[in-house]
A and B are shown apart, each in its own frame.
Chain A
Amino acid sequence: MSLLQSLKNAVRQRSIHVCYVDTGSCNGCDIEVLACLSPRYDLEQYGIYVHNNPREADVLLVIGGVTPQWEDKLKMVWDKIPEPKAAISIGNCPISGCVFSRPLTLTNAPAKSYIPIAAEVPGCPPRPTEIIQAILSVAPLIFKDWEDRK
């Protein structure tokens, strides 16, 4: 492993920029993601920053069973994120559709049929600690030795 790569690994471990998109959830998972920002959970001590801007993000949090408006836009948001990148789905909706997975629904889960999802956090809604744990366990794995593996 080159010196440059080990330097990049060290930096990427402690600097994870997060963007979240709400593709038709009930807002419950959104406010749990927001609760992660609070001083009690303190995302920034792990080097995670929530910017909500796809152009400077490393990790995309997908919330909600995918509604018709988002079927093409989710891919567009994903394409805007620079490499290396990872997508994590939050809650039951992107996995199975949760309560919205019934006849006559307009949502079209799962989210992984639109973009590659690296990890799924089940729960309706999951607790803030579980969301932080998912980001911290997945992101460094994917970003490690990115240039060498490419």
Chain B
Amino acid sequence: MKKIVDVSIPLGPVHPIFKEPCRIKCETFGEQVLAAEVELGYMKKGIERIMVGRPWQEVMFLAERVCGICSVIHNFVFIETMEKISGVGVPDRAAYLRVLANELDRMQSHLIANFSYCYTIEHETIGMYLLNIRETVMDMLEYLTGARVTCAYIVPGGVRFDPDAEDLSRIMKAMDEVERETRRYMDMFEYGPLIGLRSKGIGIMTREQSEFIHAVGPTARACGITVDCRSNHPTYQMLKFTPIVRTEGDNYARVMIRFQEVLQSADLIKTIIQTLPEGKIRGGGTIGRGETTHQGEAPRGELTYRIKSDTHGRIQEISIQTPSIMNIEACARYMIPGVTSIADVTSAYISSDPCIACTER
């Protein structure tokens, strides 16, 4: 890389706005950033090495701890992969309850991502409002599953706990409140002039660039690509799910799409509670031998598990592909170069909602 460079500025690994350690090296000319490089490797725990050779009962809890923010979807996709290998069916009620837990988890993940963005652009007021409604969502997640973060709610052939009518009406009431509040803060974000100055037209990634770098999740959907693994999931198809797409491709679009998805998740949860079928929450089945690949949509994008297991359900080979690695690369390659100020580097980076813990595992 031969360029006329004023100064090379490293950000991180301990930085006031980074939740997790990573280092962004920016090559700058004046205030303008010419190129950026993201250096990873501070969080490598070797979780896939630990998983190999262990029974699924143990790997289930390890899979949850790949990422603490989106722990339900890791649990969900791992268990669905094991069910696909062994041909275990799921009762209707359990399938709906799985989606209910997953959507609650997605809401809290999106709300904390938007909090981080608002905190980065120094708009703490909206950030604190968002954290407050996130607590309501976390309460409902705890109410349904028994834990705030790592809840292990989904097990092969069903789910752990069955909510009764009173529990469901409480979740319904909470969703009404969350929807009302989110709409209010979304309006604040949409029409705030200072927010617009810090967000609109900054960190732009075009559709072609996004396709080239294989961006996934809200980062790709903000550039106009209709990609969402939930469209292929049978339970979501029953709920008539359609992905939300925006076309601007800047910081503003990426944050707004997360707000819209929070509202969409609240709608999905309400539909689930209204149409929840009666019946058992756990079927039977044994985990057996096989090899398969399975995808699911994490809050940050497409999540893939490839698992090979033996006759006793022990994991022989496992590889996990998490969404953030593509989004971080898209960020370093297209979003950060071209921003006109160092202050926008961090906001462009946070707007793609990177999760270092699940990238490095």
Contacts and interface: CB of A to CB of B under 8 A. Distances in A.
A67 B135 contact: no
Given A24-B42, A38-B135, A105-B46, A30 B148 contact: no
Interface residues of B, number: 41
Interface in B37-76: 41-47, 49-50, 52, 61-62, 65-69, 71
A107 B319 CA distance: 19
B14 interface: yes
B16 interface: yes
Given A22-B19, A40-B135, A104-B46, 5 more contacts: A28-B150, A30-B357, A34-B131, A38-B128, A73-B13
B16 A30 contact: no
B275 to A, nearest CB: 31
B186 interface: no
Interface string B258-301: 00000000000000000000000000000000000000000000
Contacts of A5: none
Given A22-B21, A31-B68, A99-B65, A39 B45 contact: no
Contacts of B52: 104
Interface in A72-92: 73, 77
Contact of B45 (A19, A21, A24, A103): A24
**Which label, helix, strand, loop or mixed, suits the secondary structure of the B interface?**
loop
Point out which of B66, B71, B131, B134 has the most chain A C-beta atoms below 10 A from its C-beta: B131
B149 interface: yes
Contacts of B14: 19, 21, 52, 54, 77
Interface of B: 13-21, 41-47, 49-50, 52, 61-62, 65-69, 71, 112, 115, 128, 131-132, 134-135, 138, 148-150, 355, 357-358
Given A37-B131, A40-B132, A100-B50, A28 B19 contact: no
Contacts of A38: 128, 131-132, 134-135
Contact of A105 (B19, B43, B45, B67): B45
13 contacts: A21-B21, A25-B43, A26-B68, A27-B19, A31-B112, A38-B132, A52-B18, A65-B45, A67-B43, A67-B44, A69-B42, A99-B50, A100-B65
Given A100-B45, A106-B44, A27 B68 contact: yes
Contacts of A118: none
A8 B275 CA distance: 61
Contacts of A104: 46, 49-50, 52
Counting chain A residues whose Cβ lies within 8 A of the other chain, the interface size class is 35 or more
**Which label, helix, strand, loop or mixed, suits the secondary structure of the A interface?**
loop
Contacts of B115: 34
Contacts of A30: 19-20, 68, 357
Interface string A117-139: 00000001101000000000000
